[in-house]
Amino acid sequence: MNTGARELYGLIGYPVKHSYSPYMHNAAFEFLKMNAEYRLFEVSLEKLDEFFKKTIVEEKIRGFNVTIPHKVATVPYLNASISQSVRMNQAVNTVRVETDGTMSGCNSDGMGFSLDLKERGFDAAGKKVSLIGAGGGAKAVATSIAVKHPAKLLIFDLDTAKARALCDIIKNFFPSVSVEVAVTVEMLKIYQADLLINATPVGMRESDPLAIKKEWLSGDIFVYDLIYNPAETKLLKAAKDAGCHTANGLGMLLYQGCLAFEYWTGRKAPVDVMRKALLERLHG
């Protein structure tokens, strides 16, 4: 048992109350008998600077995850080691506070997504992929897909400039990949896709609309929604009704969490323990 000062980790975002991350990380700390705790820090955009310059120091935070809407805005605060994925996407989801107070960052979202896809038996190589969203999470997912060399990658975002910027990243780092911006959601050609990914927050609230038309879905499409709470969004329900294979973001959450845990602590993440904690929270 570690009898030293308790190490503090957490998640920053706005909102964060829906997050399951504390359950898996605290279960891992308990299993490994580490004197550590994972908390939620609800930080608005207006309070982000205060968090980095004051809260981290006062609370002695050792590391933290970053979620919507701070994945891009956090990058300028990193002043130590920065991973290639962060440099490529200009978005970060995992920050480690070094002993000298500087901050290193990596992005475990893309690898977490890839590991979950692999576990589900889906290989994006040579497949047609339609992606809804172009924010921080979407960037990580898009580059992880590009690594596999899909036949086609179409990207739609309500902010077309963001979609174009993500498209440019893919073209720059993966010049052999065929990628295009879909100016409208219709141009995603979902009915032709092998994989449809929602990487936006649309679907988290009961009042959120279905972003696509049900008739575009068929049993040949694998529909992946990065949202995990609720476990079944309107998109996933519509996809399931259409006979599609579906997945929510719980697996991605698990694997990116395991990678973050190892990045902070240098210890092997107890994957089965963390998975069990997530499933108990989901079904509890």
Neighbouring C-beta atoms of residue 55, cutoff 10 Å? 17
The amino acid at 2: N
17 as an active site residue: the answer is no
Q: How would you classify the pairing of strands 152-156 and 179-181?
A: parallel
Catalytic residue among 33, 53, 60, 71: 71
Q: Taking Cα atoms as reference points, which of 83, 74, 76, 131 lies closest to residue 108?
A: 83
The neighbour count for residue 6, using CB atoms within 10 Å, is 12
- Which positions ≥6 away from 51 have C-beta within 8 Å? 12, 41, 43
Which residues, in sequence order, are CB contacts of 276 under 8 Å at separation 6+? 27
Pairing state between β 222-225 and 61-66? unpaired
Distance CA 25, CA 192 (A): 39
Active site residues: 71
